[in-house]
């Protein structure tokens, strides 16, 4: 079974707070259970995505790094 | 009454210890923006937009020097009497005319800072102010300081909440994360 990503965000080059702001906006449009992926280059986004996921209750399914690019997958929480 | 009728207290494990309690998450963020300088307004707007992105009901209460960044960029002179006019001459309003609290160097410091921000793709205070409005951050100007400094509603940017006083600010701050910047 493959995982389908409902939305993909390119946040490369952006600095705090824009990656989280753009992610929060995009997450609003997702249906519960849908996945959003984001690519960022700001190293600060690693702890920020983790903290955002924890405080909003939307699980961070993946947080990985390839070269200078960070890859995040968030799942929209069930209501 | 015999002693065996005294009920035992409820089981001890029902009372959670501090360590077991889940930390309470504040649903609100209230920032008192007292300083109107670039290096204070910038983090104020970064924190406010982030708070809104985290789903918190976010309010910035602008007071004293913090009001000047709310003046429209094209408004050069504010105030009704010579003292208020002098104040606005010395301290031009608008989120594109902010000074640094240190290393201002007659405007060279902010120019360099804005240049660096552009290079590093950091959103400017002006852009963040627009994002804040778009995200529903409440931007409340302090009525008393507006009167004191001679700032009229039409001198200030659109999209602000109704001017209010300290009571409204403190009422909003109940149960919120509060910051004074």
pLDDT at B19 (0 to 100): 54
Sheet hosting strand B177-180, strand order edge to edge:
B138-141, B57-62, B28-33, B177-180
CA pair distance A3, A5, nearest whole angstrom: 6
Q: What is the pTM of this model?
A: 0.85
Contacts of B53 in chain A (CB under 8 A): 17, 20-21, 23-25, 52
Please state the domain extents for chain B.
27-180
Spatial CB neighbours of B113, under 8 Å, sequence gap ≥ 6? B38, B39, B100
Q: Which residues of chain B have pLDDT under 70?
A: 1-24
Q: Helix A45-56 crosses helix A18-28 at what angle (to 10 degrees)?
A: 40
pLDDT at B76 (0 to 100): 87
A-interface mutation test, from B46, B50, B58, B177, most A Cβ less than 10 A away: B50
Spatial CB neighbours of B5, under 8 Å, sequence gap ≥ 6? none
| SS3 of residue B64 by DSSP | helix
Strand duo A7-11 + B138-141: pairing = unpaired
Given the structure tokens 């360099």, which residue do they identify? B112
Tens of pLDDT, residues A38-52: 999 999 999 999 999
DSSP string, B60-82: EEE-GGGGGGGB-TT-----SSH
ipTM for this model: 0.86
Contacts of A56 in chain B (CB under 8 A): 54-55
pLDDT at B3 (0 to 100): 55
Given the structure tokens 């590093």, which residue do they identify? B120
The answer, for B49 touching chain A at a CB cutoff of 8 Å, is yes
Contact, B130 vs B160, CB < 8 A?
no
CA pair distance B85, B74, nearest whole angstrom: 16
Is domain B27-180 classified as CATH 3.40.1260.10?
Answer: yes
Cβ neighbour number for residue B176 with a 10 Å cutoff = 18
Instruction: Say which DSSP state A22 is in.
Output: H
- Phi, psi (degrees; rounded to nearest 5) at B47: -70, -40
Task: Kindly list the distances between the CA atom of residue B112 and the CA atoms of B36, B106, B116, in Å, as whole numbers in the listed order.
Answer: 18, 12, 6
Contact, A11 vs A39, CB < 8 A?
yes
Contacts of A13 in chain B (CB under 8 A): 121
CA pair distance B17, A8, nearest whole angstrom: 42
Average pLDDT, chain A: 94
| SS3 of residue A60 by DSSP | strand
pLDDT at B6 (0 to 100): 56
Confidence of residue A79 (pLDDT cuts 50, 70, 90): confident
Share above pLDDT 90 across residues of chain A, in percent, rounded to a whole number: 92
Instruction: With a cut of 90, say whether residue A1 has pLDDT above it.
Output: no
A66 belongs to the catalytic site = no
Sheet hosting strand A7-11, strand order edge to edge:
A7-11, A35-40, A69-75, A60-66
pLDDT at B18 (0 to 100): 54
pLDDT at B41 (0 to 100): 96
Contact, B67 vs B145, CB < 8 A?
yes
The answer, for B44 touching chain A at a CB cutoff of 8 Å, is no
Measured in angstroms, the CA of B130 and the nearest CA of chain A are apart by 13
Assign domain A7-75 to its CATH superfamily.
Answer: TusA-like domain (3.30.110.40)
């Amino acid at each position: 079974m493959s995982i389908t990503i409902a939305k993909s965000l390119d946040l490369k080059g952006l600095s705090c707070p824009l990656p989280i702001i753009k992610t929060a906006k995009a997450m609003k449009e997702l249906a519960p259970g849908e996945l959003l992926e984001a690519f960022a280059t700001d190293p600060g986004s690693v702890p920020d995505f983790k903290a955002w996921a924890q405080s909003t209750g939307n699980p961070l399914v993946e947080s990985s790094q390839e070269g200078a690019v960070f890859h995040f997958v968030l799942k929209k929480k069930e209501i | 009454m015999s002693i065996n009728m005294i009920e035992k207290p409820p089981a001890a494990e029902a009372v959670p210890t501090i360590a077991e309690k889940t930390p309470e998450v504040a649903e609100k963020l209230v920032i008192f923006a007292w300083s109107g300088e670039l290096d204070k307004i910038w983090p104020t707007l970064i924190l406010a937009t982030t708070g809104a992105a985290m789903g918190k009901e976010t309010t910035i209460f602008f007071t004293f020097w913090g009001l000047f960044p709310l003046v429209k960029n094209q408004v050069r002179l504010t105030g009704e009497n010579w003292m208020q006019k002098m104040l606005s001459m010395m301290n031009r309003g608008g989120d594109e005319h902010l000074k640094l609290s240190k290393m201002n160097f007659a405007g060279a410091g902010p120019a360099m800072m804005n240049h660096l921000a552009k290079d590093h793709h950091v959103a400017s205070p002006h852009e963040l102010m627009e994002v804040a409005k778009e995200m529903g951050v409440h931007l409340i100007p302090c009525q008393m300081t507006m009167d004191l400094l001679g700032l009229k509603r039409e001198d200030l940017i659109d999209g602000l909440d109704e001017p209010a006083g300290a009571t409204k600010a403190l009422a909003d701050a109940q149960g919120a994360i509060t910051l004074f910047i």
